[in-house]
A and B are shown apart, each in its own frame.
Chain A
Amino acid sequence: MEATRILLVDDDQSSRMILRRLLSPQGYEVVEAESGEVALDRFREHLPDLVLLDVMMPGIDGIQTAREMKAIAGGTFVPILMLTALSDEKMLAHALEAGADDYIAKPYNRTVLEARLRAALRGRALFGELHAQKLRLEDLRAQTEREQETAARLLGSMFRSSSLENSCVRFASTPLERFNGDLLLAGRTPGGAFRIMLGDFAGHGLTAAIGALPIAEAFQSACLRGQPVETMLREANLKLRSILPRDLFLAVCVVEVEPVKRTAAIWNAGMPTVFVRGARGGIKAEAPSRMIPLGVLTQLPGSEVRVESLELGDRIYLYSDGFIEANDPFQNDFTDGLLRQLLARDGEGSRFDAVVAAHEAHVDGTPLSDDTTLVELTYLPELFESGAEPELVSRNHLELGAEALRGSDPMGIVDAWLTGIPSIASQRTTIGTITTELLTNAVDHGLLGLDSCLKAGPGGFGAYYEERERRLQALTRGVVRVELGVECVGSNYRLNLMVEDSGRGFDPRRLEALAPEGQLFGRGLTLVRSLCRDLRVVSPGNRTEVVYEWSAADATLLARTA
């Protein structure tokens, strides 16, 4: 061990001699200085462990010297002991104020001197330890912050995955400066399904980030490979179960929209109830949690909620529990009841802005205790545009005048054409149903002006079709135009069908309104609407356009088995 180095400052040589004789035999290394100026130089040069400093010196006095030494020492602690006669009390007080740590009174007493030096050196050692600990803590904090930033950046880049930048997805979330425990991801499968996942870790910061990485990766790889959501969740559950500490788990909700099938499936494992708002208002479906959060059990019991017959403009709302548990200034929760009420409101369009505004008004600046996320997914054509250019498969155009309508069956003509397109084969039944409905409407209501109410009552069907036949044979003017196009868009086929008649137009909504459950008629357009991706009746009601899509995989599957 190195000897303790003492800087001894006194303008009186004999005084320095006395002290050197006292100190050297104790094993101290003594560096002498005869003035304040020299002492400062020596201080810089030798970095002593302790300074003995005479108060009264010509030039820079002891007090000034002490002050400058403290400045030079900076963060390290070098005890300064003033050498003074007991009569200099005022001077002593000054010196202590200037930074001196203790004093030794002249004349020197060996025992007292030794005791004071030891005490001062103990203080220095203690200070050194504290200082080292402080540095270690600062390092740790810096490291944690760096890791937090890394986690936020890593997850942030996933958070901003391009699939979220979609006009059909809107979300609001507490700021992402740090990773906040809520995880939002979106992706598209090769089959054209759109998936969105909202996860909420029991935990925040880095611990949550650790679990988020594997689940984010599992989600994205499942999307790329088209792996079923169920399988992805089971695998992710096992992985989280094996890596997460027992008290940490992931509540998660995955929504998969299959545009072609017009269905949504919602897997809810420990998240608050997902609401599906109908295009014209009202709550169309709810998906409460039916599964246990991931990372709790090795099994993942429970099942998804399926929503059939999605309509354009239907909206799915996902949110974290922090969103509904956010307090107002009086500690009242926002509640899912209030959210449901806001979402159920009648009328078309998004409720996202209204909900966010209501939430802000509720919270009113109260600090949030949990992360809050709200997501809105709208079922719109943009959701299933994969960006691929449509490629024409086949197009046909048909016009039938009164004579042709009297003598032939338009559906037979269309049927013959449909049969000639192999990619339609798997969907012929559905397309046949759609086409028949539109043609029947065009002829019966558009040209012949028949009223479906005729079908009611005993013998109604017979009466209706007799009247139909009578009017049809009397028809001398009128045209029905049909346009059918089949195109291939990415991994899907799409049928665009337009049926137009030369009639005055009729209000299909009136027909639909006539059809209570169990009624014999009036469900034609409702049926078509349910089967198709899109149905549009062009004013004044003599032209109907529909879009029907199906997966190319279905088509090839059928071709292979045929």
Chain B
Amino acid sequence: MAITFQKKPDGSAQIHVAGRFDFKSHREFGEMVKAVKGSKKCVIDFGTTTYVDSSALGMMLLLRDEVQDIQIRNCSSEVRKVLEIANFHRLFEIN
């Protein structure tokens, strides 16, 4: 698990989650949320994410409290399935 992020000059943030996105990511994710707080927009890239668990879903809700506009990119069909079962496609924009 490795969460990396980049702040862009336009005020948006690019977040990349590699490997397992589960409860063990909470510290890293929490630090990232603090850092990107106040960004206009966040793009989360799930391109190299192997799987997400329910605490990862909870963490995404934490991020949503800080950043209104969140886009999810490069979901595998399986990750998308998990997000959809939790009805997260209603809360986040999934591309």
A531 in contact with B62 (CB, 8 Å): no
The complex places the Cα of A304 from the Cα of B25 at a distance, in Å, of: 41
B20 in contact with A521 (CB, 8 Å): no
The complex places the Cα of A27 from the Cα of B53 at a distance, in Å, of: 110
The complex places the Cα of A185 from the Cα of B22 at a distance, in Å, of: 46
- In A383-435, the 8 Å CB interface with B consists of 409, 411, 415, 427-430, 432-433
Least CB separation from A527: chain B residue? B54
Question: Taking the complex as formed, is A365 at the interface, i.e. its CB lies under 8 A from any CB of chain B?
Answer: no
The complex places the Cα of A465 from the Cα of B58 at a distance, in Å, of: 13
A427 in contact with B53 (CB, 8 Å): no
Q: What's the least CB distance linking B87 to chain A, in Å?
A: 7
A521 in contact with B53 (CB, 8 Å): no
Q: Could you say which of B20, B30, B51, B54 contacts A461, with CB atoms under 8 Å apart?
A: B30
B61 in contact with A465 (CB, 8 Å): no
Residues of B with C-beta under 8 A to A437:
53-54
- In B1-44, the 8 Å CB interface with A consists of 20, 22-24, 26-27, 30
Interface size range on B against A: 20 to 34
B27 in contact with A433 (CB, 8 Å): no
Residues of A with C-beta under 8 A to B61:
518, 520
Q: Could you say which of A429, A462, A517, A518 contacts B76, with CB atoms under 8 Å apart?
A: A429
**Binding site of B, secondary structure by majority: helix, strand, loop or mixed?**
helix
Residues of B with C-beta under 8 A to A523:
54, 57-58, 86
Among A430, A436, A523, which residue has the most Cβ atoms of chain B within 10 A?
Answer: A436
A430 in contact with B81 (CB, 8 Å): yes
Least CB separation from A428: chain B residue? B50
The complex places the Cα of A433 from the Cα of B30 at a distance, in Å, of: 21
A462 in contact with B87 (CB, 8 Å): no
The complex places the Cα of A527 from the Cα of B79 at a distance, in Å, of: 12
A462 in contact with B26 (CB, 8 Å): yes
Q: Could you say which of B22, B23, B26, B82 contacts A430, with CB atoms under 8 Å apart?
A: B82
A-B interface contact total, Cβ < 8 Å: 78
The complex places the Cα of A428 from the Cα of B78 at a distance, in Å, of: 9
B58 in contact with A455 (CB, 8 Å): yes
The complex places the Cα of A523 from the Cα of B30 at a distance, in Å, of: 20
The complex places the Cα of A309 from the Cα of B20 at a distance, in Å, of: 24
Least CB separation from B85: chain A residue? A530
Residues of B with C-beta under 8 A to A191:
none
Residues of B with C-beta under 8 A to A462:
26-27, 30
Question: Taking the complex as formed, is B67 at the interface, i.e. its CB lies under 8 A from any CB of chain A?
Answer: no
A and B contact pairs by CB, cutoff 8 A, 27 listed:
A309-B85, A415-B20, A428-B51, A429-B50, A429-B76, A430-B81, A432-B50, A433-B51, A433-B82, A436-B20, A436-B23, A437-B53, A437-B54, A440-B22, A440-B55, A455-B58, A461-B59, A461-B62, A465-B27, A520-B59, A520-B61, A521-B54, A521-B58, A524-B53, A524-B54, A527-B85, A531-B82
Residues of A bordering B, CB below 8 Å? 309, 409, 411, 415, 427-430, 432-433, 436-437, 440, 455, 461-462, 465, 517-524, 527, 530-531
Further 20 A-B residue pairs, CB within 8 A, beyond A427-B78, A523-B86:
A409-B24, A411-B20, A428-B51, A429-B78, A430-B51, A432-B51, A433-B51, A433-B53, A436-B22, A461-B26, A462-B26, A462-B27, A519-B58, A521-B54, A521-B58, A522-B54, A523-B58, A524-B53, A527-B82, A531-B82
Residues of B bordering A, CB below 8 Å? 20, 22-24, 26-27, 30, 50-55, 57-59, 61-62, 76, 78-79, 81-82, 85-87, 91
What are the 3 A-B residue pairs with the smallest beta carbon separation, nearest first? A432-B51, A429-B78, A524-B54
